[in-house]
Structure 1
Amino acid sequence: MKRFALAAVTAQGIQAAVSFVLQILVLRLLGVSDYGRFAILYGVIVLAMAVISGLVGDSLVVLHREQHRIRAALELMTLWTSLGAAIISAGIALLTGFVDAVEAAVFGLALLLFSVMEVVRRLLVAHLRFLRAAMGDVIGLVCALAVVLPFWHGSGLALWTFLAAMAVGQAVAILVGWRMLPREERSLVRPGSPDLGAVWRYGSWRALQQTLRPGLFTVVRMLVQAFAGIAAVGLLEAARTYVSPLTLVVGSFSSLLFVRFAERAKAGGRGSLREADRVVLLLLLLSVVLGGVALVLAPVVGPLVFDIHLDQVSVISWVAYGMSIAMVTPYGALSAVSGRQMVVFLIRLGDTVLGIVLTALALALGAPFEVAPFLLAIASLLGGIGLRIVAARGEAESQGT
């Protein structure tokens, strides 16, 4: 468990570092305003990845993907979801005037490739090959930088340049990740008689749940833009990116727990509420330590890395949000693999809507935009308490039978 946990944290750390480097480049080379636009577009990409991660990624972990009909359904879902999300997202961005035609094209391509790479990554994670997934991310970053550098030296940097670089990087990462999969996972099956119903019944709830957090961030960015301007979005995103190592630790442990609980469920066993409690306590302790370090180093790291002064209130708010997430995801993973994915989604939907309402009211009443993550943390904490209750009831029912 400890060895896999370390590998999971390392892989999540490398994945976050890749995203971190690209976002730092956008912020430093294009400025706060373009970074604000990039943050919104990248938020949509993350949202699309969340959809396919829940619909296909979680389904391939929980369902028996070795069966032909399940595997065919997973492949078709990957194609339809990724392509549909790319076309719809790029079209809306273009029609609303948020991007021009070139930016829309490369944005759609990047979204498509990010979505496919997410499925490849989840396959590697399903086999507990966390470091191989990280290797694909690193190679993808190197290729992305290879695209950016010629434009940098030629003074031709623009938003579409970074989007195109991300697309190239993901295309290479897909090929590398595919080659690192076990042999039985590399080949596609004939699409005949896919069991779309089985994948949809499980994956649709997980997809809906996976969209909540990136969807929440996207709505909050739009609210901050409406009340405080696009530059405020860039400043708030810089603080979130700075605190992201905290949330990646939470995410890596939760991914490992989900795989462990799912394998037990396939074997006829159940996850342990006591194990989830221990992970929550560990994550809360790590959040306090990492949050304290982040707060102390913010005055130095901000100007050095981001070329701006990070707002201390924003940093504290994002740390609080990360701590609240530590109380949500382990209990959600435990309940989801035991067939309670709909209940998990409804609880998460409730705390997401509450977070949006609190943020909108606060900004409308004149509150500073820096407190938005703290309000999200309050709502998330309430959701975590609800998920703990659901997990406890589920374990009590299983013991009663």
Structure 2
Amino acid sequence: MKRKALGAVIAQAAQAGIGLLLQILVARMLGIEEYGRFAILYGVVIVATAVVTGLVGDSLVVLDRSQRPIRAGLEAMLLASSAVLAVGSFLIAWLTGFSDAAESALFALALAAFAVEEIVRRMLIAHLLFIRTAITDVAGFVVALAIILTVHVTGTLTLAAFLGGIAAGQIVATFVGWFLSPRSDRRLVGLRGADMAAVWRYGMWRGLQQVLRPSLFTVLRLLVLAGAGLTAVGLLEAARTYTSPLILVIGGLSSFLFVRFADQHKAGGSGSVREADRVVVFLLAGTVVMSAIAVVLIPWVSPLLFDVEVDPLAVIAWLAYGMSVAVVTPYGALGAVAGRQVAVFVIRLSDTILAIVAAIVMIALGAQPSTLPFALAVASLLGGLGLRWLVVAGRGPGSPRGDRAQDRE
């Protein structure tokens, strides 16, 4: 089991590391202001991908996809959600004047490609095939990097070229991941008789929950954009990207825990709040160590990565937020697989709204953008405490009975 958990971290590290490298390339090749614009567009891609991940990906893990109506429902929901999100994002980016028509089209294509590739990743993760998941991501990155560097050498590199390269890479990764999936999950069925209702009933709340954190980041970027400009957005995003290795470890374990708790629930057992507590302690201890290393290395590493030295206060603020995520993640996974996704969503929505309100108040009071992640950290920590209360108070996962069952394993 420890080997699977390590594999989950490796898979998440590959995905997050690729995202980090792409952002570093944008910052160094196009400048910090254009990086600020990329951060906003990329943030929308992450939000849209999170919607599809929760709506289709989590349903794929929890529901019985061996049943034809469920499998057809998953396929239909993936097609519908990715198409609607891509078209909507194109229209918003183009009609607001944030991007021209060509750049908006490439942005929409990248968004749809990200969404579909993420579901292929979830198929691999559902089978705990984390190394294959990492191979899928790396294959896509190699293609994207080749296109970006080719354009850079032979012509004028633009943000549109970056988006096109990313889209091509995700399409290739989708095919690679598909062929690496077990044969049983490579079977496509017709959409007739698709049970989209079952997928919607479970996935709607997971999709809404998955979108909260990236939406929060996008709102924060827009608030900073309105109050301090694109350069401030780029600097704050650089500090967040600098701390991303911390979040990738937490994210990797989150994927592993969700599948583990889901498998236990399907088998008639339940996850243990005691197990979740142990994971939280482990994550917090690791976070403290990684945070100390990150702060010490700022003067040397950040200029190398971003061609500017990031604000140490912003780094510390984002690290504090990472600690709060370590508290939220295990309890959220434990509650969601037991059918409490509505309650989990309500708690997460509440702490997200609290974070946005706190950020607005801080900006109104003249706070520096580098301090805003502290507001997110406090709100997220309160949400984590609420989620723990939820799983302890229930009679399913997290109850004393669940703990005793876990202890007998």
The verdict on a shared fold, with TM-score over 0.5 as the criterion, is yes
Matches within 5 A, 1:236-315: 236-315=236-315
Does residue 212 (structure 1) correspond to residue 186 (structure 2)? The answer is no
Post-superposition shift, 1:154? Answer: 2.6
Q: Distance in 1 between matches of 2:222 and 2:115?
A: 23
Q: The residue matched to 2:339 in structure 1 has which SS?
A: coil
Structure 2 residue 167 is the aligned partner of structure 1 residue 170: no
Q: Give the whole-Å Cα distance in 1 for the aligned partners of 2:139 and 2:395.
A: 43
C-alpha deviations, 1:53-77, integer Å up to 9, x for none? 0000000100101100000000000
Query: Contact 1:54 / 1:209 at 8 angstroms: preserved in 2?
Result: yes
Return the offset for 1:12. 0.6
For 1:190, what is the secondary structure of its paired residue?
coil
- Structure-2 residue corresponding to 1:140: 140
Q: Residues 269 and 400 from structure 1, CA distance in 2 versus in 1: closer, same or farther, beyond 3 angstroms?
A: closer
Give the secondary-structure state (helix, strand or coil) at the position aligned to 1:194.
coil
State the AA in 2 paired with 1:127: H
Report the residue type matching 1:134 in the other structure: A
- Corresponding letter in the other structure for 1:220: L
Partner Cα separation in structure 2 for residue 137 and residue 259 of structure 1: 20
- CA change 1:135–1:143 in 2 (3 A) is same
Alignment deviations for residues 167-224 of structure 1 (CA, whole Å, 9 cap, x no partner) = 0100110010000000111121111111111111110000000000000000000000
> Aligned partners of 1:326 and 1:400: how far apart in 2?
25
**Mapped partners of 1:351, 1:183: distance in 2:** 41
Distance in 2 separating the partners of 1:63 and 1:279: 25
Partners in 2 of 1:198 and 1:101 — Cα distance?
A: 37
Counterpart of 1:124?
Answer: 124
CA contact (8 A) 2:317 2:370 kept: yes
Q: Secondary structure at the match of 1:327?
A: helix
Gaps of 5+ in 2: 403-409
CA deviation digits over 1:143-174, x for unaligned, max 9? 00111112211341001000000001001100
Report the residue type matching 1:306 in the other structure.
F
Aligned to 1:385: 385
Rounded Cα–Cα distance in structure 1 between residues aligned with 2:170 and 2:204 = 25
Counterpart AA for 1:75: E
Give the SS at the match of 1:145: helix
**What's the CA shift for 1:364?**
1.4
Alignment correspondent of 1:108: 108
Is the CA contact (8 Å cut-off) linking 2:270 and 2:396 kept in structure 1?
A: no
Residues 124 and 181 of structure 2 are in contact (CA less than 8 Å); yes or no, is this contact kept in structure 1?
yes
Question: Which residue is 2:333 aligned to?
Answer: 333
Give the CA deviation at 1:396.
6.9
Residue number in structure 1 paired with 2:86: 86
Note if contact 1:227-1:364 (Cα within 8 Å) is conserved in structure 2.
no
8 Å contact from structure 1 (residues 273, 395) kept in 2: no
User: By how many angstroms is 1:90 displaced?
Assistant: 1.0
- How many residue pairs end up in the alignment? 401
| Partner of residue 19, structure 2 | 19
- Residue in 1 aligned with 2:405? none
Give 1:352's aligned residue.
352
Could you tell me which amino acid in structure 2 is paired with residue 349 of structure 1?
L
Using the size of structure 2 for normalisation, the TM-score is: 0.97
CA–CA separation in structure 2 for the residues paired with 1:220 and 1:84: 24
Query: 1:273·1:391 contact (CA, 8 Å) conserved in 2?
Result: yes
8 A contact 1:335–1:394 mirrored in 2:
no
Distance in 2 (CA, whole Å) between partners of 1:254 and 1:20 is 19
Work out the CA distance in 1 between the residues paired with 2:268 and 2:235: 48
Q: Structure 1, residues 208-247: CA drift from partner, whole Å, max 9, x if none?
A: 0000000000000000001111100000111111100001
Among all aligned residue pairs of Structure 1 and Structure 2, give the percentage whose two residues are the same amino acid.
Answer: 58
- Structure 1's consecutive aligned runs of 4 or more residues displaced over 4 angstroms after TM superposition are 395-401
User: Which letter does structure 2 place at the counterpart of 1:204?
Assistant: M
Which deviations, in whole Å up to 9, do the C-alpha atoms of 1:17-65 show, x marking residues without a partner? 1111111010001001110110000000000110010000000100101
Rounded Cα–Cα distance in structure 2 between residues aligned with 1:258 and 1:138: 23
Paired letter, 2:201:
R
- Could you tell me how far apart the structure 1 residues matched to 2:225 and 2:27 are? 17
Give the letter for the 1:87 counterpart: V
Distance across 1 between alignment mates of 2:203 and 2:303: 43
Matched residues in 2 for 1:396 and 1:386: separation?
Answer: 16
Which amino acid in structure 1 is aligned with residue 204 of structure 2?
S
Letter in 1 for 2:140: G
Distance 2:135 2:87 in 1: 29
* Aligned mates of 1:359, 1:102 — CA distance in 2: 34
Q: Give the TM-score of the pair, scaled to structure 1.
A: 0.98
**1:105-130 CA distances to partner (integer Å, 9 max, x unpaired)?**
10010001000001000000000011
Alpha-carbon contact 2:317-2:372 (below 8 Å) kept: yes
CA distance in 2, matches of 1:333, 1:77: 22
